[in-house]
Amino acid sequence: MGAIHLAILASTYAVVANAMYIWSGTKGRLGQAGASITHLGFGLMLVGILISSSKKEVISINRTGIMIPGLKDPKGRDDSGMENVTLIQGVPTPMGKYTVTYVADSTHPRDEKQYFKVNYERKDEISGKVVEEFNLYPNAFLMKAEEGRSALSANPDSRHYWNKDIFTFVTSMPDPESIKDTATFRNHPIQQGDTVFYSNGYIVIDQLIVANKETNKDLPLVDSAWLADVTVYSNEGMSYKAQPALFSKDNRPMAKRDTVISQSLVLEVNKDHQGLNIGVKESNAIMKYITLKAFQFPFINILWLGIIIMSSGFLISMIHRFKKSM
């Protein structure tokens, strides 16, 4: 901290000294003070770097108990799992004063990056009302490294405030090529109101709907349909809706599966001579997750202000030199 304080003192001196020279040496004539303006901006930039870096705060403290091994920081060094939060898609997760949710992701055939939508929500501690909400869109992609391993390359996104920045980047994501689905469906006979258990909770059959084209004119594309409206209740107290279905066209069955990604569940409806069944498959291959690291940088706008002033000083000096050469 002694070195940081000394550097802040020197940077502040550079800002004050150049500001005084612009005021007294050039009598406020900015057109002749390009060099001093540049040095003033450089000093402000150093002040911003020193304050924001020395006072930065890691807000992604892991309190979920989900630890991903082998994490690396942006410089390739080993990173602590205690400073990274793993988010399962669709599951709100506490992170400091925010509740963070991995909402969705997207890719483009011409872009190897994967873009993630991460929702931040902050509630009032007394009333429980949402007082702030925003989305960040960090992206990352996997590069092939030595011995067949994959290395993660991540690009951050940030939320800007007048007095701070929240800086978020991805530190881990699953490799789609290494995921293999070996799980199978387990069929359970069902009727409306039944309960089916799985390893992390239970499924309630809220409603069963049976329709065919003779009694329902809204089925122009299929001959018959069997739909299940279900609610999945996890042991963590969360609930999820799903609507698997089975269709029949020319005596050929067509299953419409539904997934509950946060619970690694795939649901389908089957029919045999005894009645309807619900097929339940628990597969880690469908669970989507990312691991995030988030920093809060205070007063980083001093850095951006310094960059703007320094660039302006360069431009003023170039214009002044060009006019003198004319």
Residue 271: pLDDT above 80? Answer: yes
For the chain, give the mean pLDDT: 86
Q: With cut-offs at 50, 70 and 90, classify the pLDDT of residue 99.
A: very high
On the 0-12 / 13-18 / 19+ scale of CB atoms within 10 A, 108 is exposed
Q: Using only C-alpha atoms, what is the Rg of the chain?
A: 29
Examine the domain organization and report whether 66 and 172 are in the same domain. Answer: yes
Report the percentage of the chain scoring pLDDT > 90: 44
Examine the domain organization and report whether 260 and 198 are in the same domain. Answer: yes
> What is the per-residue pLDDT across 64-75, written as a single tens digit (0 to 9) for each?
766 676 676 666
Examine the domain organization and report whether 38 and 68 are in the same domain. Answer: no
- What's the total number of domains in the chain? 3
> What is the per-residue pLDDT across 40-60, written as a single tens digit (0 to 9) for each?
999 999 999 999 988 889 999
Examine the domain organization and report whether 221 and 311 are in the same domain. Answer: no
Examine the domain organization and report whether 240 and 265 are in the same domain. Answer: yes
> What is the per-residue pLDDT across 307-324, written as a single tens digit (0 to 9) for each?
999 999 999 989 888 888
Which strand (E) or helix (H) includes residue 292?
Answer: strand 289-298
Q: Summarize the confidence of residues 302-307 as an average pLDDT.
A: 92
Examine the domain organization and report whether 144 and 157 are in the same domain. Answer: yes
Examine the domain organization and report whether 133 and 167 are in the same domain. Answer: yes
Examine the domain organization and report whether 121 and 29 are in the same domain. Answer: no
Examine the domain organization and report whether 44 and 171 are in the same domain. Answer: no
Examine the domain organization and report whether 70 and 37 are in the same domain. Answer: no
Examine the domain organization and report whether 118 and 253 are in the same domain. Answer: no
| Domain coverage including residue 42 | 2-55+302-325
> What is the per-residue pLDDT across 161-207, written as a single tens digit (0 to 9) for each?
988 999 999 988 887 666 666 678 899 999 999 999 999 899 999 99
Q: How does DSSP assign 156-208, residue by residue?
A: -EEEE-SSEEEEEEEEE---GGG-------EEEE--TT-EEEETTEEEEEEEE
